[in-house]
A and B are shown apart, each in its own frame.
Chain A
Amino acid sequence: MKGWLRLLGLVAFVGLGIVIFRAIRQYREDSAFDVPQATSLPGEGSRRVISPELLSILADPGDKGPVELITDSSGKEWLVNRRNGFRYPVEDGIPIMLLEEGEKNKDESLIQK
């Protein structure tokens, strides 16, 4: 009887270990897709984003109309003028709102008529 109890305890212990191992592995896999923090200190390496306050005042430098923040398939952010297709890049959280940049990166498929 005592031997059976020992064996049962051993099986329960191994089972618990397997459950914990799987839980840790799942957590690590899930964490790989976590969204980075919004802001960071220099050198931390995480991505900076445009603040809502800045977004609320931004306009196209040419026609002063609204611009829309979009993220392309590679994860890069752009501020888009839907009236002419100009796209202004966002680099490290800093919008590059130069007319020549907007024109250089123009995408006519983004124009809304």
Chain B
Amino acid sequence: MVDKRGAQHEDLKALVQAQFAPAAQAYVTSRTHALGGDLARLVELAALTGDEVVLDVATGGGHMALALAPFVRQVIASDLTLAMLHAARDHLVAQGFDEVSYLRCEAEHLPCAPASLDLVCCRVAAHHFADVQAFVTGAAQALRVGGRLLISDHIGLEDPELDAFMDRFERWRDPSHVRAYSYRAWHSFCTTAGLEVVHQEDDPREPYQFAEWTVRIGMPVAEREALERWLLAAPARFREQFALTVEDGRVVSLRGHFGLIVARKP
């Protein structure tokens, strides 16, 4: 028997796959995902020796896997959505990386043997997970002693009003967006899983270009316009926090809040 929480989890999995399967190629070519400055920074923070076995969880367009592949022994790119894995594989093979492995799995149920990985990374995806604690706990189990968990994601704000505002526009645009967790929440997830957070920093990403950002996800025109009206009507404090830019009464861009977290298995 599936309990209520389990049913919600299944609904979310279906939603994520329905959301991303048709848009798989768009995520390969998306500037935001392909060119994010966090990629190079994450590789730097991974402190690689060249002998690592790495699992890239929720690889999407495969950009994190591609960034790591030249510097490690083995990269395994995983995703819940099969179409994403095919798109990522085509992309990486076209770039000359045909030694990367691919794996379809849920982040909350990683199919990895205990102490089999040196690095688990997850870039701009954990906000889709139904149970982040389960993901972090599974990652911790799969890591060898000294192994690292690298997270790049939306980060929740400590100010509850600002956090609620950000949560509203992110979930309005993307119903599979579950939650952006604060640094404090990430510390809690890691500590509970037996990991220690050794580093965190804000990730000053490029602002969202409103038109591209809403079209890429397949948002209906009426919803895009409703979201735009809502953003335009926001109090100044919110508009400033999220760097809302407006031209001729139309939203041009706005900025989310992102960060990087590194945790280590002691």
B101 near A97 with CB under 8 A, answer no
- Least CB separation from A59: chain B residue: B113
- Residue among A42, A54, A61, A94 making CB contact with B109, cutoff 8 Å: A61
B76 near A97 with CB under 8 A, answer no
Chain B positions 69 through 106: 1 when the CB is less than 8 Å from some CB of chain A, otherwise 0:
00001101000001001100110010000110111111
Report if A85 contacts B (CB, 8 A).
no
Specify which of A57, A58, A94 lies most central, judged by the most chain B CB atoms within 10 Å of its CB. Answer: A57
Closest chain-B Cβ to A105's Cβ sits at a distance in Å of 14
Tally A residues with Cβ within 8 Å of B.
27
Contacts A39-B98, A42-B90, A64-B141 given; does A98 touch B106 at CB 8 Å: yes
Contacts A57-B113, A57-B116, A58-B111 given; does A98 touch B101 at CB 8 Å: no
Give A80 to B185 CA distance when docked, in angstroms.
Answer: 37
B102 contact set on A, CB distance < 8 A: 93-94
A58 near B106 with CB under 8 A, answer no
Report if B114 contacts A (CB, 8 A).
yes
B76 near A57 with CB under 8 A, answer yes
The 5 closest A-B pairs by CB, nearest first: A97-B111, A61-B109, A54-B101, A57-B116, A61-B111
12 cross-chain CB contacts under 8 A? A51-B74, A51-B99, A54-B103, A56-B116, A57-B113, A58-B111, A59-B112, A61-B105, A64-B113, A94-B103, A98-B109, A99-B106
B74 contact set on A, CB distance < 8 A: 51, 53-54
A62 near B109 with CB under 8 A, answer yes
Report if B232 contacts A (CB, 8 A).
no
Closest chain-B Cβ to A44's Cβ sits at a distance in Å of 11
Interface size bracket, B side: 20 to 34
Give A54 to B82 CA distance when docked, in angstroms.
Answer: 17
Report if B117 contacts A (CB, 8 A).
yes
Give A77 to B113 CA distance when docked, in angstroms.
Answer: 20
Chain B positions 110 through 128: 1 when the CB is less than 8 Å from some CB of chain A, otherwise 0:
1111101100000000000
B93 contact set on A, CB distance < 8 A: 41-42
Give A56 to B117 CA distance when docked, in angstroms.
Answer: 10
- Least CB separation from A89: chain B residue: B104
Give A113 to B106 CA distance when docked, in angstroms.
Answer: 28
B109 contact set on A, CB distance < 8 A: 61-62, 97-99
Specify which of B53, B90, B106, B111 lies most central, judged by the most chain A CB atoms within 10 Å of its CB. Answer: B111
